[in-house]
Chain A
Amino acid sequence: MENRFRIDILALILFLSIAIIGIASVYSATSNQGIFTLFEGRSGKQLVWFCASLFFGIVIFLLNANFFELFSIYFYILFMLLLVLVLAIGVDINGARSWIKIGSFSLQPSEFAKYGTSFAVATIISRIGFSFQNKNDILKLAAVTLIPMGLIIIQGDMGSALVFLSFILVFYIEGLTPAIILLGLFMILVFVLTLVYSALYFSIAAILLLFLFYALTYTNKKLLIPSLSIVGFAIVFSMSVQFLFDNFLKEHQQKRIQVTLNLIEDNMGAGYNVNQSKIAIGSGGFSGKGFLNGSHTKGNFIPEQETDFIFCTIGEEGGWVMSSITIALYIGFILRLYYLSSRAKKKYKRIFISSLASIIFFHVLVNIGMTIGIMPVIGIPLPLISYGGSSILAFGLFIFTALKMDATRDRDLESVFT
């Protein structure tokens, strides 16, 4: 007889631990706003959303194992429609139209879009005959990921749009040439060098390097053309970065990037959040100031401290020990998810689960990096910890769907196309 509640215990424990840290941190971060118990205010709401996702988790586990695969593309369409809907009837909060208000309850479709897109990505790649060399397949993939990205950019939420870049990791695992990732890293390097030294100096340095390279290897004629084209590309890219940065990014976006690169110091303006966040975390010391005892958290010095900057509360009140435990839990959870994906017998499940792992990784990388000042300020939540009903619920659904897929792996045929 089928045991519907067979579940990967390790992943479940990691999930629950992170969620509990989350509720406690939101409680601490908001306890200064006249909130006295865990069940009031935002921590109370967080708890409700967490319970809701557990409820939906049980529902998911009661569903037929193949339910998601069958309705995959409908899910995708449903969530894309929500993204369109939010543009039509959404409300503006903090300059982004990301929210649909239904009574006292608001929904952020962009949080669910990652979930929906993963179905589509899994469906396309797991189709028989899919290949990264096939233009049609590539176009389809590009379409399903760029559509939500585009819609979310139109909403004005650049951070959430960037999250879709995490699918590149999935593509890489599934066979996309690493050149793409290398190219990406190369472009980031050129981008940074351009902003630090300006396009002109970068170009001069690149040309000088090319001459040096040519002088050293002039006997090898084969290297000339590739090296020439790399440098040429770099210079063109650098010029366009400079142009785009100066002309298309909004001032606050420019400043956020410049602050992260230490090009400007603006502790009262664009750098205020990051500076206060670093102070809060840094003042936590080895073992922290104690739960509910963070003076910086209590004093509301960090804007968005219960949402995007929730890690400050952990860092200040729990110190290095709790910060490290939190990071370790995330890393453990992400690695476990990748492992679950690798043991799936169906390609569809494998891709879906690794999408989840990649998305969580991207969130953690960017969010924590931002609070300690090694990533620019990109407003995306810390999964399961940051306050936000849509985020909690979307990740809950995402995780339970993935765990359900893993739980039923034994009945899947070994995929022929690995």
Chain B
Amino acid sequence: MRNFRLYYIYAAIIFVGLIYIYRLFQVQVIDDKYALIAEKISLRKQTVYPQRGLIFDRNDKLLVYNDPVYDLMVSVPIKLKGIDTLAFCKLLAIDNEKFDELLSRAKRRSYRGKSVFKKNISNVTYARIQERLYEFKGFFFEIRQDRNYKFNSSAHLLGYLGEVTKKDLSLQKEGYYEQGDFTGKKGVERFYEKQLRGLKGERYFYVDRTGVNKGSYKDGKLDYDPVDGKNISLSIDIDLQQYGEKLLDNKMGSVVAIEPKTGEILSLISSPFYNPANFNIQNRGKYYTRAINDPTKPIFNRAVSAPYPPGSTFKPIMALIGLEDKAISSSTHFNCNGQYRLGKRVIKCHFHPSYTSLKQSIASSCNTYYCHTFKNMMGSSKYKNSEEAYKSWRSYLTSFGLGSKLGTDISGEFKGWLKESSYYDKMHGKDQWNYSRIISLSFGQGELGLTPIQIANAVSIIANRGYYFTPHVIKKIEGMKSIPQQYLVKNYTAISQSNFNPVIQGMQEVTISGTASHIAIDNINIAGKTGTVQNPHGKNHSAYMAFAPVEDPKIAIAVVVEESGYGASWAAPIAHLMIEKYLMSDTLKESSRPNLEKRMMESDLIPYKYKSKIDKSLYGK
């Protein structure tokens, strides 16, 4: 009997052994979920961020560089056993409540085995904690590159970085970005994000229960190093840019200066501006709402986003269209008795000799001349009706790049206002309107809105006598033979080259005997056109466009100063000072017009109604 029982025992033992081996087979070989769970628990990926490309100006002056920010991370699941929280809080300069708050947030937002405990820790705090980090098991740092700036300048142009949004993440195709990554949000940072960002590297390692690194995964076979981003050079001249910013200080307006031969933007300023360093990752949280609440709209890039009626600066363009369309010739004269009568309506003009030539009409900005020109064109027998004439007029303008976005590499470009003929059909009824309804377009008022960069581009077309390159701010990308192809294409206007000469002569006359003669610059032939833009909400906008030298144009510039007065009083002096600064920078140490310069820099033209609401801290360091 005993032997029998022993056999039962043998059987039972073997049975248990087989059951266990079978069960292990299930758990270890068949079911692969445990391997995945184990990796999730103990395998960590650390992203190694590359250096973002640096940004230089056209003379290789460094504008933007990297400034590391440190994110204090915590391994998930979070274990705080044996951590001296009091000392930890002291190092971080937070209180216990804040600690608990950060901790519970970190618990909620864990992502791939880690979670941000505190973001954007400064250099100093980082150094202080790093020394004692071994005491705080499970905490570690991730270093990312924030931006810093050599000059308190060019904020609108440079743009800023920000964390990728959920939307960005869901829309991206290559899957490059992860939650929390920085990406260019505005300006050059955004347009050249791909070149600037480089490639992230990765390190895989094991952690233990407390989150401490326990060595690399597979001896680092899966790891790879980051590739640094490409440096880029911009076409702006930082000296000119800063000079322009000084001139525009305490004014609302903008300056756009373009090199006509290449379309390179030499300077692009929108005022009020802000210190770009205030909008980097570390500081933007603090300043963004202030900027939003400022009624002078410092974030708004007026240079490309704000449409202004061009006013009289439009006259040279109108003259070109008139010449091309044969509504006038270079020898056409009109009588002007200080007004243009249109039935009961009277369009006023200023005092100037009555028998007005084309040259004179530009020099003394005669409204009447352009009303006649416009009427001739609209009433031309070439066209079946006003609608067709208007369409023709409009197509001349679109060949100047007006009425649509130019396609620059600057954020926030607006296409401006240039109505389709259907707009007037809707307003007055089909075939129920003619030139008299839209006569103010002829001298740049009415339903016309050009952004400063569009005006600058138009004047650079005049300087080039008929063509333009799409304005752009990129000059050089490290490791690339050329800048993007779209900026190397010559765009021709519908105006023949020969028609430019009389208009340019007229514009030159502006600075010799015309509206801007009082601020002529010695030794530089400037062709310009003033504009005084009627503003229903306040004082007139002062506008000016010019290029120089006339013989060999190197700079084309447009200036708008909002709510300030005549074009000749503010926009033109600023433009002339900048032209001098740019063209004479090698030989001239100081401006030849020091008093004018002083007056421009020191005048405060911000309307009184905004004064109390301006936050000056945005502009400072």
Residues of A that sit less than 8 Å from B by CB: 32, 169, 172-175, 178, 268, 278-286, 295-296, 298-301, 315-316, 319-320, 323-324, 327-328, 330-331, 334-335, 338, 342, 361, 365, 368-369, 372, 374, 418
Segment from B8-16, B374-382, B512-520, B548-556 that makes contact with A: B8-16
Task: Given A173-B2, A174-B2, check contact A301 B28 (CB 8 Å).
Answer: no
Residue in A299, A365, A374 whose CB lies within 8 Å of B208: A299
CA distance A316 to B34 in the complex (A): 11
Contacts of B210 in A (CB 8 A): 300
Residue in B2, B29, B42 whose CB lies within 8 Å of A296: B42
Contacts of A368 in B (CB 8 A): 20
Q: Are B28 and A295 in contact (CB under 8 A)?
A: no
CA distance A268 to B78 in the complex (A): 12
Residue in B17, B28, B43 whose CB lies within 8 Å of A319: B28
Chain B 22-44, CB-CB to A under 8 Å as 1, else 0, gives: 01110111011111011101110
CA distance A323 to B20 in the complex (A): 9
How far apart are B218's CB and chain A's nearest CB, in angstroms? 10
Task: Given A282-B34, A301-B42, check contact A173 B28 (CB 8 Å).
Answer: no
Q: Are A284 and B17 in contact (CB under 8 A)?
A: no
Q: Are A296 and B24 in contact (CB under 8 A)?
A: no
Q: Are B207 and A299 in contact (CB under 8 A)?
A: yes
Contacts of B9 in A (CB 8 A): 169, 172-173, 338
Q: Are A320 and B43 in contact (CB under 8 A)?
A: no
Q: Are A335 and B13 in contact (CB under 8 A)?
A: yes
Chain B 198-237, CB-CB to A under 8 Å as 1, else 0, gives: 0000000011111000110000000000000000000000
| With A286-B28, A295-B39 already in contact, 10 other A-B pairs whose C-beta atoms are closer than 8 Å | A279-B37, A281-B24, A285-B32, A295-B42, A296-B38, A319-B28, A320-B25, A334-B13, A338-B6, A342-B6
How far apart are A138's CB and chain B's nearest CB, in angstroms? 18
- From B77, which residue of chain A is reached at the shortest CB distance? A268
- From B19, which residue of chain A is reached at the shortest CB distance? A374
CA distance A418 to B1 in the complex (A): 10
Q: Are B208 and A300 in contact (CB under 8 A)?
A: yes
Q: Are B43 and A295 in contact (CB under 8 A)?
A: yes
Task: Given A338-B10, A372-B27, check contact A281 B208 (CB 8 Å).
Answer: no
Contacts of B32 in A (CB 8 A): 285
Contacts of B1 in A (CB 8 A): 175
Q: Is the interface of A mostly helix, strand, loop or mixed?
A: helix
Among the interface residues B6, B38, B207, which one has the most CB atoms of the partner chain A within 10 A?
B38
CA distance A330 to B29 in the complex (A): 22
Q: Are A296 and B3 in contact (CB under 8 A)?
A: no
Q: Are A324 and B41 in contact (CB under 8 A)?
A: no
The 4 lowest CB-CB distance pairs between A and B, nearest first, are A282-B34, A283-B38, A299-B208, A331-B17
Q: Are B28 and A323 in contact (CB under 8 A)?
A: yes
Q: Are A327 and B20 in contact (CB under 8 A)?
A: yes
CA distance A169 to B8 in the complex (A): 11
Contacts of B481 in A (CB 8 A): none
Q: Are A279 and B34 in contact (CB under 8 A)?
A: yes
CA distance A282 to B31 in the complex (A): 8
Contacts of A268 in B (CB 8 A): 77
Among the interface residues A173, A280, A369, A374, which one has the most CB atoms of the partner chain B within 10 A?
A173
How far apart are B274's CB and chain A's nearest CB, in angstroms? 48
Contacts of B37 in A (CB 8 A): 279, 282-283
Q: State which residues 30-65 of B face A: CB under 8 Å.
A: 31-35, 37-39, 41-43
How far apart are A237's CB and chain B's nearest CB, in angstroms? 24
Among the interface residues A172, A175, A282, A374, which one has the most CB atoms of the partner chain B within 10 A?
A282
Q: Are A320 and B214 in contact (CB under 8 A)?
A: no
Residues of B that sit less than 8 Å from A by CB: 1-3, 5-6, 9-10, 13-14, 16-17, 20-21, 23-25, 27-29, 31-35, 37-39, 41-43, 77, 206-210, 214-215
CA distance A179 to B10 in the complex (A): 19
Task: Given A296-B42, A338-B10, check contact A320 B20 (CB 8 Å).
Answer: no
How far apart are B267's CB and chain A's nearest CB, in angstroms? 58
CA distance A131 to B13 in the complex (A): 26
- From A302, which residue of chain B is reached at the shortest CB distance? B209
Q: Are A296 and B41 in contact (CB under 8 A)?
A: yes
How far apart are B5's CB and chain A's nearest CB, in angstroms? 5
Q: Are B5 and A374 in contact (CB under 8 A)?
A: no
Q: Are B28 and A320 in contact (CB under 8 A)?
A: yes
CA distance A173 to B7 in the complex (A): 10
Q: Are B209 and A301 in contact (CB under 8 A)?
A: yes
How far apart are B431's CB and chain A's nearest CB, in angstroms? 80
CA distance A299 to B207 in the complex (A): 6
CA distance A418 to B6 in the complex (A): 13
CA distance A316 to B39 in the complex (A): 12
Contacts of B13 in A (CB 8 A): 331, 334-335, 338, 361
Contacts of A282 in B (CB 8 A): 27-28, 31, 33-35, 37-38
Task: Given A32-B208, A286-B28, check contact A295 B38 (CB 8 Å).
Answer: yes
Q: Are A372 and B23 in contact (CB under 8 A)?
A: yes
CA distance A187 to B214 in the complex (A): 48
Q: Are B20 and A372 in contact (CB under 8 A)?
A: yes
21 contacts between A and B (CB under 8 A): A169-B9, A172-B5, A173-B6, A279-B34, A280-B38, A281-B24, A283-B35, A285-B32, A285-B35, A286-B29, A295-B38, A295-B42, A295-B214, A298-B42, A299-B41, A300-B210, A323-B24, A334-B13, A335-B13, A342-B6, A361-B13
Contacts of A324 in B (CB 8 A): 21, 24-25
Contacts of B31 in A (CB 8 A): 282
How far apart are B607's CB and chain A's nearest CB, in angstroms? 63
How far apart are A320's CB and chain B's nearest CB, in angstroms? 4
Q: Are B28 and A281 in contact (CB under 8 A)?
A: yes
Q: Are A298 and B214 in contact (CB under 8 A)?
A: yes
Q: Are B41 and A279 in contact (CB under 8 A)?
A: yes
Q: Are B42 and A173 in contact (CB under 8 A)?
A: no
Task: Given A175-B1, A296-B42, A301-B41, check contact A320 B208 (CB 8 Å).
Answer: no
- From A334, which residue of chain B is reached at the shortest CB distance? B13
CA distance A323 to B209 in the complex (A): 24
How far apart are A91's CB and chain B's nearest CB, in angstroms? 23
CA distance A280 to B24 in the complex (A): 12
Contacts of A319 in B (CB 8 A): 28
CA distance A284 to B39 in the complex (A): 11
- From B1, which residue of chain A is reached at the shortest CB distance? A175
Q: Are B34 and A281 in contact (CB under 8 A)?
A: yes
Contacts of A361 in B (CB 8 A): 13, 16
Q: Are A299 and B28 in contact (CB under 8 A)?
A: no
Q: Are B24 and A320 in contact (CB under 8 A)?
A: yes
Q: Are B24 and A283 in contact (CB under 8 A)?
A: no
How far apart are B35's CB and chain A's nearest CB, in angstroms? 4
CA distance A138 to B172 in the complex (A): 79
Task: Given A279-B38, A361-B13, check contact A299 B209 (CB 8 Å).
Answer: yes
- From A298, which residue of chain B is reached at the shortest CB distance? B214
How far apart are A146's CB and chain B's nearest CB, in angstroms? 23
Contacts of B41 in A (CB 8 A): 279, 296, 299, 301
CA distance A285 to B42 in the complex (A): 16
Q: Are B208 and A301 in contact (CB under 8 A)?
A: yes
Among the interface residues A284, A298, A299, A365, which one has the most CB atoms of the partner chain B within 10 A?
A299
Task: Given A174-B2, A301-B209, A335-B13, check contact A315 B24 (CB 8 Å).
Answer: yes
- From A368, which residue of chain B is reached at the shortest CB distance? B20
CA distance A11 to B301 in the complex (A): 88
Contacts of A320 in B (CB 8 A): 24-25, 28-29
CA distance A328 to B20 in the complex (A): 10
CA distance A173 to B8 in the complex (A): 9
Q: Are B208 and A284 in contact (CB under 8 A)?
A: no
Contacts of A334 in B (CB 8 A): 13
- From B23, which residue of chain A is reached at the shortest CB distance? A372
How far apart are B163's CB and chain A's nearest CB, in angstroms? 31
Task: Given A169-B9, A175-B2, A418-B2, check contact A295 B206 (CB 8 Å).
Answer: yes
- From B207, which residue of chain A is reached at the shortest CB distance? A299
CA distance A175 to B5 in the complex (A): 9
CA distance A298 to B24 in the complex (A): 21
Q: Are A278 and B206 in contact (CB under 8 A)?
A: no
